[in-house]
Amino acid sequence: KYFKLTILSKNIQIIAIILSICIGCSTEPEINIKASIAKYNLANEINKKIGKEHFFQDQALKNINPRLGKALIKQLDSQKIYFTKDEILYFTNKFQSSSDDVEIATSYELINLYFNRLIEATRYQIKVIQKKDFDFNKVENILIDNDLQEFRETNQDLREIWVKLAKNDVLTSMLTDKSEDEAVELISKRYKNRLRRISQRNEEDIFSIVMNNLTGLFDPHSSYMSPKSAEDFEMTMSLNLEGIGALLTTEDDYPIIVSVVPGGPAEKSGKINPDDRIVKVKQIKEVEVDPVDVVGWRIDEVVQLIRGEAGTQLELEIIPAKTEDLSDRKWVLLTREEVKLEEQAAKFLIVDAPQGEDNFKIGIIDLPAFYIDFNAWRDRDPDFRSSSKDVEDILKQFKLENVDAVIVDLRGNSGGSLYEANKLTSLFVSSGPTLQVKESNGDIRPWGDASANQAWKKPMAVMVDRYSASASEIFAGAIQDYQRGLIIGHKTFGKGTVQQLDDLTSGQLKLTESKFYRVTGSGMQNRGVEPDITLPSTWDIEESGESSLDSALPWDQISPTPFRKFQFDKTILDRLKIAHESRMLESPDLQYILDIRKRYDEQQEKKSISINLDTRRAEKIDRQVWALATENQRRAAQNLEIFKTFEGLEEFNKNKEDTNVDIDIDLQNDYLLNEGMLILSDYLYLNTNLLFSEAA
């Protein structure tokens, strides 16, 4: 059996995203979709498959409806701005009193209500902003902490928050150097796009929402895929599409980057990251064309606009992830191309690492994915392409160049082939188990290569971060358990489950069928791999990863499987940590990362945002002043030329990004990779037994 292990949450498959309605409205509801017999039958089919095939087969399905109702309400109205308290009570009671296996009728009723309430809200907001009588000098705020929100009592209470939200949209647009008239025109178009999107809702959209909330009650990686979603998923897995190499979903009207495909135009640009928002798409043609604002569009429409013939170009206006204000924007130029396997290939760099009177040569291997040309492998082609074969070739070259130690960089590597995770591990630990897999029936079996030959016997380290998942975690966990090398970076994602795809009468069902464990018996699920030496981060990594997802399966452990550890002097770790902490105090680059984290933590404490124009302008200037001062502090400590203006800093960063597009491993600007190299060189200096030729 061949597994693809990646972070592909159900949000990637939910091509339909939600929006809302009204019980007791005086007008006739515009969205009134009823469940067909075919969908009732399909829901029963899905329900039975979950009960029989999910990893937790014994999980009770009898009392699922109250949980389903709660999940739907949370997804549809997490901000508590569309439903009243009475409506929430009405639906809560209906879900609790249901005796059906899956309460389809009430679910449809709730979603219909949501769509119609959003129509009502959007039309009201259009009227409000077109009056152009907002008082932007008024001291006024919007609560942004959903946990502090409460459902409103009346429709009038809802309208008051709708007005504030519309005012904030106009104000945010004005902060991008637009006049109020221009901002009103732009936001009006967005709201009209939203109305158009709602009018295109069909039963498949509503059914997908219900079923994905149902599967999401069992774990975040099980999902229902409609026939269209299944087709898109297959194209993504085969990489047989021409575009920018990014997976998209929708959130709060914005198209959101879920992940970038290794080797694709988005990833190679170095300018697009997960959680970035897309605002506009501009096609680059011989004749000048205007950018298209895609906020409020259906996600499938955005995908079609971005896809195109290889060789053609487009520009995306992006709101960077984790920005303090949605008025922060940047344009990214991309050339469409078909993402090919060789674009994901491992890349390497050999660098000198002076250490006292010694000079070590360290080889860095950047591995963006655990890839394999599966068709060629299945056809027994001896020249099939894979990550383990490419890394083995690099290791041979490292030997010829007398490299002293290796860093395998798995940061951002979200997984890939389980077969490849095993093969890559065997290059460093020789024969032995790599992990254990527990099936839904309770059977446990070790995975590994009993006849492998160790290709690299000198010291090594693995760099990981919060986006290192699945196959990356298997490799890093095995290296750590065997005591084969150092694990450096951040705690990994924590995805310790395997999914299988089952065909349905219509569409497909992705279900979690097994869990994998480390050779020690410790689960990977939820906890991930803790690094031996933790590097600083610019944000709170606990806000993402498996542990942050609703219904994530818990951590557990099983019995260990026999394996032989390598000799490793753990007392050296304490000395390595002391040296690292000393550099943290002295390194301007690492202090720069800590300064960003401090700023991030301060901003996360904000419970509301101002919708006063002067306040928001002052906040924007404050961000620019802080960014300029923080960068200049770093540069001054290194005797580099400082910037006189924020605009000068922006221009420098843009030019640096453009210059570094073709650089595979940018050690100069990758402060954490540079620190990882220094940690490994410290290890070489301190370790008296440099050769790992035999397991102890």
Question: Can you give the pLDDT at residue 383?
Answer: 81
- Give the CA-trace dihedral at 309, 315, 321, 325, to 10 degrees: -150
C-alpha 485/C-alpha 458 separation (Å) is 9
Q: Which is nearest to 167 in space by CA: 133, 121, 192?
A: 133
C-alpha 180/C-alpha 578 separation (Å) is 55
User: pLDDT band at 695, cuts 50/70/90?
Assistant: very low
Question: Can you give the pLDDT at residue 384?
Answer: 84
**Mind listing the pLDDT tens digit for each residue in 331-374?**
999 998 877 766 678 999 999 998 877 889 999 999 998 988 77
One-letter amino acid for residue 89 of the chain? L
Residue for token digits 């950018």? Answer: 291
Q: Cβ distance 334 to 244 under 8 Å?
A: yes
Q: Write out the two tokens for 318.
A: 């992006």
**Mind listing the pLDDT tens digit for each residue in 494-539?**
999 988 889 999 999 999 999 999 999 999 999 999 999 999 999 9
460: pLDDT strictly greater than 50: yes
Q: Cβ distance 630 to 596 under 8 Å?
A: yes
Q: What is the DSSP letter of 554?
A: P
**Mind listing the pLDDT tens digit for each residue in 145-201?**
888 899 999 999 999 999 999 999 999 999 999 999 999 999 999 999 999 989 988
Cα-Cα-Cα-Cα dihedral sign, residues 48, 512, 389, 423: negative
One-letter amino acid for residue 227 of the chain? P
One-letter amino acid for residue 536 of the chain? P
**Mind listing the pLDDT tens digit for each residue in 241-274?**
567 888 888 887 888 998 888 878 888 888 898 8
Q: 15-24, 211-220, 259-268: lowest mean pLDDT where?
A: 15-24
Question: Can you give the pLDDT at residue 233?
Answer: 61
Q: Write out the two tokens for 72.
A: 């739907």
Exposed / middle / buried, residue 496 (Cβ in 10 Å: 0-12, 13-18, 19+) = buried
Exposed / middle / buried, residue 117 (Cβ in 10 Å: 0-12, 13-18, 19+) = buried
User: pLDDT band at 634, cuts 50/70/90?
Assistant: very high
Provide mean pLDDT across the span 471-485.
96
Q: Cβ distance 159 to 168 under 8 Å?
A: no
Question: Can you give the pLDDT at residue 621?
Answer: 95
658: pLDDT strictly greater than 80: no
Q: Report the length, in residues, of the chain.
A: 696
User: pLDDT band at 72, cuts 50/70/90?
Assistant: very high
Provide mean pLDDT across the span 586-599.
96
**Mind listing the pLDDT tens digit for each residue in 378-418?**
788 888 888 999 999 999 999 999 999 999 999 999 888 88
Q: List, in order, residues 6 or more apart from 269 with CB less than 8 Å away.
A: 332, 333, 334, 657, 661
C-alpha 630/C-alpha 642 separation (Å) is 11
Q: Write out the two tokens for 614.
A: 């002067």
Question: Can you give the pLDDT at residue 675?
Answer: 97
Q: Cβ distance 632 to 640 under 8 Å?
A: no
The strand ranges marked E within 490-570 are: 497-503, 508-517, 533-534
Q: Write out the two tokens for 50.
A: 């979950």
C-alpha 226/C-alpha 204 separation (Å) is 7
Q: Cβ distance 448 to 430 under 8 Å?
A: no
Question: What is the average pLDDT score of the chain?
Answer: 88
Cα 225–chain centre separation: 19
CA distances, 486 to each of 305, 365, 478 (Å): 45, 15, 11
Percentage of residues in the chain having pLDDT higher than 70: 91
Exposed / middle / buried, residue 323 (Cβ in 10 Å: 0-12, 13-18, 19+) = middle
C-alpha 327/C-alpha 97 separation (Å) is 46
Q: Residue 39: enclosing H or E segment and its boundaries?
A: helix 37-53
Termini Cα distance of the chain: 33
**Angle subtended by helix axes 64-76 and 104-131, to nearest 10:** 10
C-alpha 25/C-alpha 22 separation (Å) is 6
Q: Cβ distance 106 to 73 under 8 Å?
A: no
**Mind listing the pLDDT tens digit for each residue in 122-133?**
999 999 999 999
Question: Can you give the pLDDT at residue 642?
Answer: 95
Q: Cβ distance 245 to 260 under 8 Å?
A: yes
Exposed / middle / buried, residue 267 (Cβ in 10 Å: 0-12, 13-18, 19+) = buried
C-alpha 180/C-alpha 290 separation (Å) is 20
Q: What is the DSSP letter of 486?
A: E
Secondary structure of 64-100 in HEC code, one letter for each residue: HHHHHHHHHHHHHCCCCCCCEHHHHHHHHHHHHHCCC
Give 166's strand partners: none
Cα 303–chain centre separation: 18
Percentage of residues in the chain having pLDDT higher than 90: 64
625: pLDDT strictly greater than 70: yes
Instruction: Determine phi and psi for 529, rounding to 5 degrees.
Output: -110, 125
Q: Are strands 223-225 and 337-338 parallel, antiparallel or unpaired?
A: unpaired
- Give the CA-trace dihedral at 295, 298, 302, 307, to 10 degrees: 180
Question: Can you give the pLDDT at residue 174?
Answer: 95
C-alpha 613/C-alpha 137 separation (Å) is 6
C-alpha 244/C-alpha 303 separation (Å) is 10
Cα three-residue angle 559-469-529, rounded to 5 degrees: 50
C-alpha 455/C-alpha 396 separation (Å) is 8
**Angle subtended by helix axes 180-199 and 155-174, to nearest 10:** 130
425: pLDDT strictly greater than 90: yes
One-letter amino acid for residue 631 of the chain? E
DSSP 230-260: HHHHHHHHHT--EE--EEEEEETTEEEEEEE
C-alpha 231/C-alpha 247 separation (Å) is 14
Question: Can you give the pLDDT at residue 494?
Answer: 96
User: pLDDT band at 668, cuts 50/70/90?
Assistant: confident
Provide mean pLDDT across the span 604-617.
94
Q: List, in order, residues 6 or more apart from 248 with CB less than 8 Å away.
A: 255, 256, 257, 258, 278, 299, 302, 303, 306
Provide Rg for the chain, Cα atoms.
Answer: 27
C-alpha 409/C-alpha 679 separation (Å) is 14
